[in-house]
Structure 1
Amino acid sequence: MTTHQLLNPQDHAHLRLLPRSGAEPHFVQIVPGEFVAAAIACPILFSKDVATGAFYAGAVLGLNPGEGALKSAEERGGFEPLNLQRDGFFISGERIAIDRGHPRFSETQGEPLFDEAQQPSPSLRQIQRVLGQLHEGIEQTALLVRDLVNLKLLEPIDVSLNFDDGERLRLEGLYTVSRDSLRELGDGDVQRLFRSGHLHLAYTIAGSLNQLAVLAHLRNRKLAGV
């Protein structure tokens, strides 16, 4: 039985929103507007959608799917992916829909979704902004990926990490921006990428790889109980 419902004050005036809880996934889709904030705390890599084969960008929050994120949002400098902030909400056509069965929704606790005049509450307005940023960001990602693919700047990356307890983790099916290919770009392509803002994004993605070593070190410390 589906629990997806179009959000409206007539049916959902009584609903309240609880803070997001539970473990964060190890890899979360993000959009270009989040890249700078993400890059200071975690690697940004591309993966392919299983259904469509299209590239999408993601923040690597952890190194093992079963372990979730290695840093809290506070430890990431406050970076919380939009895709996590909108938990329980999604876009359906031109409307906002909710997963009525999601644990964020309550009838007795949390912040109301609508005020007494049946207008969106501050909490719901924030969700509306998040969904708007995601919707716009998905289109921006498609344009960025088009440029990266056309200029052959994306390259596969297989990450092998060895840990002090003898475990070896291998991250596969991921892609990054090639720094070598960036340096070999012609002046015309560099200028076009610069004007579109994609050159800065490409270097941000490439530079974020430095965070892989940081996450590996953090995981080693946690395995050692430090």
Structure 2
Amino acid sequence: CTGNIMASNPELCLTVEEWREKFGNWIREPHPEALLNATIFFDFRVLYGDEKLAYKLRHWLLSMTGGNPSFLKAMATNALDVAPPLGKIRDFITDDDPKHPGTIDLKKFGARLFVDAARVLALRTGVEATSTAQRLRQSGSRIGMPAEELSAMADGFHFIQLLRLRHQHLDTDHGAPGDNLVKPDVLNELDRRILKEAFRQARKIQLRLKLDYQV
């Protein structure tokens, strides 16, 4: 991991009390680095060991963020840094980088949009789930979003994830390193239509953040 976010990093092998102090500092002073850390570490989940420690930390974290509108607004603003790659004339806005012409990074401009928005809603409403689809459904229902709307957003997120995995599988099958860069022009018509709708769903969830936090 280039960011050294691993168990081998002693700075990340902390007690519950030490994680509380670290998380509390990020919440009280949401500068850019703190917000970046929050997007990574607030999605922690139990893999091994005493599950009660993680549940205890999650409960404390939600109690800190749910009543902190300034922090949530900072997180929402951060989540809106990237917009869905939908064009006004053409269906999609693709990368103009000469190394990757005509591509869309489905992680940066697709999955991340849902993940970041769902995280903000979960922190706001006290949802303990770390799955993006569960966060959307549970937190969205708590703030009164229609079930069919939430289902469409989850479906959009799942399609983008499916497209990423399918692309990576085909790449590695041909000996190339897998990545998230998909060329919409080479997709079949059905996949293009569904991808466009998935990006529209990402735009809807971002619009919800804009309205809720006036950013």
Greater RCO, 1 or 2 (C-alpha within 8 Å, sep 6+):
1
**Above 0.5 in TM-score?**
no
Query: Larger Rg: 1 or 2?
Result: 1
Q: Which has the higher helix share?
A: 2
- TM-score, normalised on structure 1? 0.23
- TM-score, normalised on structure 2? 0.24
